Amino acid sequence: MSINRSKPARILLLAAPIGAGHIRAAEAVACAINRRSALIECRVLNVFAFLPAWIAKGILTVYFSILRLFPQAYAAAYGWGNDSSLALWGRDLISRYFAKKMQAYFADFKPDIVVCTHATPAGLAAYMRRRGLLDVPLVGVVTDYVVHRLWLYPEVDRYYIPHEDLRFILENAGIGRDKITVTGIPVHADFYPADPVQKTMIARRLHLRTDVPTIMIMGGGAGLLPVESILAALEEIESSLQIIVIAGHNHKLADRLRVRRHSCRHSVLVLGFTSRIPDYMAVSDLLITKPGGMTVAEALCMGLQLLLFRPLPGQEEANAEFLLQRRRAIRADSCQEVVRAVRQMLLLTGYQPETVLLSEKKRAADEIAIGILDISRHMS
**C-alpha–C-alpha distance, residues 209 and 195, integer Å:** 16
Owning domain of residue 26: 9-186+363-379
Task: Decide if pLDDT at 174 tops 80.
Answer: yes
In a domain, 332, yes or no: yes
**Statement to judge: residues 152 and 65 lie in one domain:** yes
**Statement to judge: residues 208 and 342 lie in one domain:** yes
Which is higher by pLDDT, 6 or 95? 95
In a domain, 123, yes or no: yes
* 225-243 tens-digit pLDDT: 999 999 999 999 999 999 9
**Statement to judge: residues 69 and 107 lie in one domain:** yes
Give the count of domains, the chain: 2
Q: Give the residue-averaged pLDDT of 293-299.
A: 93
Average pLDDT value over all residues in the chain:
87
* 126-137 tens-digit pLDDT: 999 999 999 999
Q: Give the residue-averaged pLDDT of 180-204.
A: 92
pLDDT at 357: 45
Task: Decide if pLDDT at 310 tops 50.
Answer: yes
**C-alpha–C-alpha distance, residues 380 and 264, integer Å:** 61
**Statement to judge: residues 117 and 71 lie in one domain:** yes
**Statement to judge: residues 82 and 152 lie in one domain:** yes
In a domain, 358, yes or no: no
Name the range with the highest mean pLDDT among 58-67, 100-109, 135-144. Answer: 135-144
**Statement to judge: residues 67 and 157 lie in one domain:** yes
**Statement to judge: residues 109 and 219 lie in one domain:** no
In a domain, 367, yes or no: yes
Residues facing 14 on adjacent strands: 45, 116
Q: Tell me the CATH number at 326.
A: 3.40.50.2000
How many other C-beta atoms are found inside a 10 Å radius of the C-beta of residue 92?
Answer: 15
Instruction: List Cβ neighbours of 277 (8 Å cut-off, separation of 6 or more).
Output: 218, 246, 298
In a domain, 191, yes or no: no
pLDDT at 62: 79
**Statement to judge: residues 180 and 56 lie in one domain:** yes
* 78-101 tens-digit pLDDT: 665 666 667 667 778 888 888 888
Q: How many CA atoms, within 13 angstroms, populate the side-chain half-sphere of residue 298?
A: 28
pLDDT at 355: 45
Nearest alpha carbon to residue 81 among 320, 313, 321, 322: 313
Quick check: 269 and 244 in contact, CB under 8 A?
yes
**Statement to judge: residues 38 and 95 lie in one domain:** yes
Q: Give the residue-averaged pLDDT of 320-343.
A: 94
Task: Decide if pLDDT at 58 tops 90.
Answer: no
* 252-293 tens-digit pLDDT: 999 999 999 999 999 999 999 899 999 999 999 999 999 999
Q: Give me the percent of the chain exceeding a pLDDT of 90.
A: 63
pLDDT at 158: 97
Contacts 24+ apart (CB under 8 A), 110-113: 110/10, 111/10, 111/11, 111/12, 111/43, 111/136, 112/3, 112/9, 112/10, 112/11, 112/136, 112/376, 112/379, 113/9, 113/10, 113/11, 113/12, 113/137, 113/138, 113/139, 113/372, 113/375, 113/376, 113/379
In a domain, 299, yes or no: yes
**Statement to judge: residues 168 and 297 lie in one domain:** no
In a domain, 2, yes or no: no
Quick check: 224 and 312 in contact, CB under 8 A?
yes
In a domain, 129, yes or no: yes
pLDDT at 358: 44
**Statement to judge: residues 157 and 113 lie in one domain:** yes
Q: Give the residue-averaged pLDDT of 108-114.
A: 95
**Statement to judge: residues 117 and 24 lie in one domain:** yes
pLDDT at 359: 38
